[in-house]
Structure 1
Amino acid sequence: MTEQVHNLQQLDNQSTLQQLIERLKPLHVILSQNSYVKDTTYRLKRIIDDAGSQPIILFLGKERVGKTTLINSLLGRKLLEDNKNEPTHVNTFIKYSAQECVKAVFLDGMVATFDISKLKLLTVSNNESAQIIREHIDYIEVYVKHDLLKDVTLIDSMGLEPGANNTAYFSQTLLQRVDEVFFVLRAGSSATEEEVNFLKKLNTFGIEANLIVNGIDQLDGDVNAFVLAEKNRYDKYIGQIVAVSARNALEARKTNDSQMLIDSRITQLTQLIQELVGNQQKKTRHVVELFINWLGRLRKEIELIPLREPYISAYENIEQYQSDFELEFTRKQRDIALVSAYEEEYEQVSKVFKEVQTLYQLLQKLASDLYLRDSLVEKYEEVAGLYQKNVRDYRKLHVEYTMEYTRLEKQYKKQTGQSLSFPIPAEEKSGLMSDRMASLNKIQAQLAEKIEFITKYEEFVLKNLYIVQNRLNELADKRLQMIQNQVDDLNIQRKRERTYLKSYADKLTEFNCIVEAQSFLKDAIQPCLLDDTLPITDQEKDHIRNTIECICAVDLTHQALYKRLNINDSDDLLTQLDFNAKFKLIGLSLTEADIVSEIPVLPQIIEL
């Protein structure tokens, strides 16, 4: 019964958290429209993504304590490079996916996907290319197929660095993202004063790290005594303690040695992970804390907006651009010229197949209009070209055969006074005549060979005619749509430009979304945070009310400035020119009869 109540509580916490996240998503969409709060908006997106994903566990500690080997042992494979001479150079998220790959998330937000074989290059390799790439990487995500990763995301972190006040340093931004922290020590190597101070500092952030003592197989003394000594030093700053041998665990899984696996104690670590990540209430509380901290950051950003660029410059420049009609006229003339060019191209594409009535004309068109190409068309073009080449070769050979045959006829008639007929009696043959007949048979053999190629290529060309024809019509239509989209884009730009005369006015309108966000925080987010369903203290509720009140007190409506704008709407470019109504695509409509080339009949072999 107790377990059922616990499960119901877990489901209730999960539902409450999900409701909060669903309300945060529209807020992220609203703020995404403003580049000034880009970094703050990105942090909100990360809170939303992390809250909606499985719990995140961070393994941290000094270099060469075995963090990477630990993760490999949990996964039962040497996924990450654990070379002692090459420590991990980048924080690495290991996530679940049936399709294995690596994604590098760069500092500017760009994401690049690599094959799993490139993992070593991104994490530990010291060659020049790897170093250049890593200089710009924020973190990487490794996607692999493993059941443990269905419930949890693991992070293999860079080693702790020396920090101020005799305290080790680690990225606070990353610490805020994780649900659980495992601090890793090498068995027999006690935590330094810097590390103990770091554990104390984690407590001030509300983080109680769990301790992993790794490498128990290499400890000469008593493992339990070492663990007890460490526990006595900083017990109140840590949670659970597990002593393991990651190296033996990995070897045991490799050799299927069940006793070695038990002795490695890795299963205890796996069980602890599963217990910790099952605590939905703790995850909900963690997300709430992150969002409260994020609200404070948003408050600082919004309070500074009216005092800084580009908001101030918008006021100063709108009046200047209002009077700059010459620039507006120049832009309009430019846009009219662009539309004329688009119209000319649209008309050309719509009639691209109008004069195409034979296979030869089609091949000429494909050679000149590169947008009519893809792998299917190029294959057809290649075979059709071979078909026509062999037809030409056949005709040329046939002319050669006819000329040689005419010479033989003249020679025979001159010699016998009779018309040529076969077989020729032996007594009527001359050496030259025999050579000519042999030459004719040689040409006939070449013609027969060409016939075989022509038949093979002709079969392919006819069989795929309508497939390729439909594809070409699709490609032409796609090109027309692309041109139409270009005009649409131009028209959209014109609409945006005439709404606010110049870039400063456009920048000012970006802050409209901040006004919308203020209302959304007040009307949708605050009630959700204060309705007693989330694990929030009364003191935190007062802080939330005050923070949102301060955010909403910042006046960014600038309505008086809007009233001073005098912008006349101009006709849309698209209403002046409807390409689709004016130019209909003339589709390609060849038949087999248009494709097949007529060739002279193959001569018979002359019996010598």
Structure 2
Amino acid sequence: MKEENIMGMVGKLKILSSIIEKNSYIRDTSNKLKQLLEDAESSYRILFIGSESEEKNSLINALIGRKLLTEKNDAYVHIFIRYGEKEFIRAVFVDGTVADFEMRHLYFFTEKNTYIGEILKTYINHIEIYLSCDLLKNAILMNAISLENVTKSFIQRADEVFWVSSSGSIGNDELKVMKGIYHYGIKPYMIINMMEYNEDQLLQSIKRGKERYGQFVEEFIGVSSKQALQSKNSHRMQLYIDSHMHDLTNKINQLCIGKNNREKNMAVRIKQWLELLEGEVKQIPEREPFRSAQNRLKEYADFEHSIGRSLLEKNVKILLAYEKEYAHVSQMLKDVKTLYQLLKVIELEPYLQDENVDLFVALTLKYLEKVREYRTLYTEYVMEQQQFEKWKKKLLRNKLDHVKAEELLLNKAELLNQMQRNCKETYNAIKRIELDLLNDLCTIQRIINESTKQQLEKILKKALYLKYIHNKELKNIENYVQKIREFECIFEMQEFLQKELKEIFEEASSAFSEDERIQILAIIDHISQVQLLGEGFLSTLSLESLRQNFSIKVDFKEKYRFETLHLTETDIISDIPPIPLPIDIQHILDIEKP
């Protein structure tokens, strides 16, 4: 299959991509196809990997002729270096969205120990750096995060792999990675990036490399990126020639023109994608949301009346409890006419607890305590005064024991005056508290009314939410129908595979072996044979009957008018007797002596 045949297949796959992207439940598979198509039409992709980040980054810098990447560190994310007249950075996030940055922000992604870099690498899939560089007109340079983090999918996006090392020697773990790359159908180029180009040293490195892993490598190439970068800074052309960097540049240009591996790589990736699609389609009947949607619809189609009735009875029972609570709260303040009644309501209704209400309650309790205290003092005073009056009458009748009676009267009078002062002090305290209560009454009533109103809104909100959930169940049925219909594009895809793509794969003689072609055609047949829905599946489901059975009503506001708290000054002031008058001591002394 020649390059033009590849593009013909790409054109058909674009149509297929537009079909399957209608289904959001196979989005990952759809995105992989989009990525495959993007790579097929892009410039030649060369992936740079290696355990020595300094040598790898230095080589990329030398190829583009500037110090772009920090040589000491691997980047936070995979990097694609592409051609662009305008130079900027494009970050591609894991959800597919993109954001552009100025070149001065590159250090966010390439330098370690930056706080923002740690955050970005969590959410960014890769970045693309657009540079005005002739080499990039035909090539895209891919820089992996690190050797241990490079994935199969990332490697397969490359047309060629350049393995960069300072000596050409690799460890056992690196050899395992190299074998994996070879298993993917790619033989990397081993780029030996020396501090200073030395032919003898290069030949020795190549000899050791061929003995250890030569069968997995396409070619050994020796360069010195350090010398190339030095020549750039010092303008010494001979130094650049000595670096042999031009040999690597020529090799890259040759690869980009020939595109030798693209046909093979695309063929492999297309076959792998079709295998992925086959597995995806076969799993649809057992995966969510298809399985739940289908099972739920079957339940309602077979048992709509019993399910509807059962759910309705359950929700109506809950709704009646909400209505009872709403009725109680809406009428609770109606009969509150005294401070004591208000205190009992506040005590029984937790939602009335508030900092200002608590202070008012404390003040009210103090007020009622003082009122009780005053009434007790007043009662004791009245009893003591009655006894005083008896002694006073006795004094006037009994002239013989005048001195003793007078002394007793004076003692009683002093006691009464002390009790009168206590009454007066308590009475005045009551009046001060009354003043505070009257000053706070308007605010407290507003707070209590507002809190009660909010409680009613909470109850109503719960009832409306129940109604929402109740009605949502019916909406879910409609949504399930829409979900099922979203899979109709699978039928369209199955038909397209049979009528359009199958013929192309039958003619793709140079791209696939006979066994591979047979496998691909079998995959297409398997995908086409998957049956998702039976005939007339939705015909037995009556949405209209469900709507009729699922009707509930929330009319609390109309049925129960909110009765607010409305206490007046008369309601909160306690009725207490006036302060008794003090005893006139002089009047006792002036009583006629015998």
Shorter-chain TM-score category?
0.5 to 0.7
The equivalent residue for 2:100 is 113
Deviations 1:529-561, CA, capped at 9 Å, x for gaps: 111455111000110111111111110244421
Give distance in 2, aligned partners of 1:101 and 1:321: 56
Residues 1:556 and 2:536 aligned together: no
The equivalent residue for 1:525 is 501
Measured after TM superposition, the shift of residue 76 of structure 1 is 0.6
Give distance in 2, aligned partners of 1:55 and 1:64: 23
The equivalent residue for 1:73 is 62
Deviations 1:297-339, CA, capped at 9 Å, x for gaps: 1111111111222112222333677879999xxxxxxxxxxxx
Find the partner of 1:54 among 43, 63, 66. 43
Give distance in 2, aligned partners of 1:533 and 1:291: 15
Residues 1:278 and 2:257 aligned together: yes
Match for 1:175: what amino acid? I
- The TM-score with structure 2 as length reference comes to 0.60
Structure 1: runs of 5+ lacking an equivalent: 1-11, 162-168, 328-496, 569-608
The equivalent residue for 1:30 is 19
Give distance in 2, aligned partners of 1:34 and 1:275: 41
Matched residue SS, 1:102: strand
Find the partner of 1:191 among 165, 170, 181. 170
The equivalent residue for 1:92 is 79
The equivalent residue for 2:139 is 152
Matched residue SS, 2:46: strand
The equivalent residue for 1:290 is 269
Find the partner of 1:141 among 121, 125, 128. 128
Matched residue SS, 1:563: coil
- Identity percentage of aligned residues: 31
Choose 317-326 or 519-528, whichever is displaced more: 317-326
Does structure 1 retain, via aligned residues, the 8 Å contact 2:80–2:127? yes
Give distance in 2, aligned partners of 1:514 and 1:307: 15
CA distance 1:545–1:251, shift in 2 (3 Å): same
Measured after TM superposition, the shift of residue 282 of structure 1 is 2.7
Measured after TM superposition, the shift of residue 227 of structure 1 is 2.4
CA distance 1:220–1:126, shift in 2 (3 Å): farther
Find the partner of 1:129 among 112, 116, 124. 116
The equivalent residue for 1:264 is 243
Give distance in 2, aligned partners of 1:219 and 1:88: 30
Measured after TM superposition, the shift of residue 522 of structure 1 is 1.3
Give distance in 1, aligned partners of 2:204 and 2:489: 60
Does structure 2 retain, via aligned residues, the 8 Å contact 1:105–1:140? yes
Give distance in 2, aligned partners of 1:36 and 1:217: 54
Residues 1:316 and 2:295 aligned together: yes
Matched residue SS, 2:48: strand
Task: Give the alignment of 1:150-549 within 5 angstroms.
Answer: 150-161=137-148, 170-187=150-167, 190-217=169-196, 222-318=201-297, 502-532=478-508, 534-549=510-525
Give distance in 1, aligned partners of 2:260 and 2:504: 17
Measured after TM superposition, the shift of residue 125 of structure 1 is 3.8
Larger radius of gyration: 2
CA distance 1:200–1:509, shift in 2 (3 Å): same
Deviations 1:191-248, CA, capped at 9 Å, x for gaps: 1122223222222111101000012418797332222222232211101211111121
Match for 1:34: what amino acid? N
CA distance 1:152–1:218, shift in 2 (3 Å): closer
Matched residue SS, 1:535: coil
Give distance in 2, aligned partners of 1:566 and 1:534: 55
Give distance in 2, aligned partners of 1:56 and 1:246: 20
Does structure 2 retain, via aligned residues, the 8 Å contact 1:58–1:182? yes
Give distance in 2, aligned partners of 1:244 and 1:216: 9
Match for 1:172: what amino acid? K
Give distance in 2, aligned partners of 1:110 and 1:321: 39
Give distance in 1, aligned partners of 2:274 and 2:283: 14
Does structure 1 retain, via aligned residues, the 8 Å contact 2:55–2:164? yes
Match for 2:487: what amino acid? F
Deviations 1:282-305, CA, capped at 9 Å, x for gaps: 312211110101111111111111
CA distance 1:558–1:251, shift in 2 (3 Å): farther
Q: What is the alpha-carbon root mean square deviation over aligned residues?
A: 2.7
Give distance in 2, aligned partners of 1:137 and 1:500: 34
Find the partner of 2:90 among 103, 108, 117. 103
Matched residue SS, 2:70: coil
Give distance in 2, aligned partners of 1:192 and 1:511: 49
Structure 1 residue ranges, 4+ long, deviating more than 6 angstroms after superposition = 218-221, 319-327, 497-500
Give distance in 1, aligned partners of 2:146 and 2:199: 25
Does structure 1 retain, via aligned residues, the 8 Å contact 2:166–2:193? yes
Measured after TM superposition, the shift of residue 90 of structure 1 is 1.6
CA distance 1:48–1:17, shift in 2 (3 Å): same
Does structure 1 retain, via aligned residues, the 8 Å contact 2:197–2:242? no
Matched residue SS, 1:87: coil
Measured after TM superposition, the shift of residue 120 of structure 1 is 1.2
Structure 2: runs of 5+ lacking an equivalent: 312-472, 545-594
Does structure 2 retain, via aligned residues, the 8 Å contact 1:512–1:557? no
Give distance in 1, aligned partners of 2:45 and 2:126: 14
Does structure 1 retain, via aligned residues, the 8 Å contact 2:56–2:165? no
Give distance in 1, aligned partners of 2:119 and 2:7: 40
Does structure 2 retain, via aligned residues, the 8 Å contact 1:92–1:141? yes
CA distance 1:30–1:276, shift in 2 (3 Å): same
Measured after TM superposition, the shift of residue 147 of structure 1 is 1.3
Aligned residues: 378
Matched residue SS, 1:158: coil
- The TM-score with structure 1 as length reference comes to 0.59
CA distance 1:257–1:145, shift in 2 (3 Å): same
Deviations 1:25-69, CA, capped at 9 Å, x for gaps: 011111111122111111100000000111110000003341111
Does structure 1 retain, via aligned residues, the 8 Å contact 2:197–2:222? no
CA distance 1:499–1:551, shift in 2 (3 Å): farther
Give distance in 2, aligned partners of 1:13 and 1:304: 35
Does structure 2 retain, via aligned residues, the 8 Å contact 1:318–1:502? no
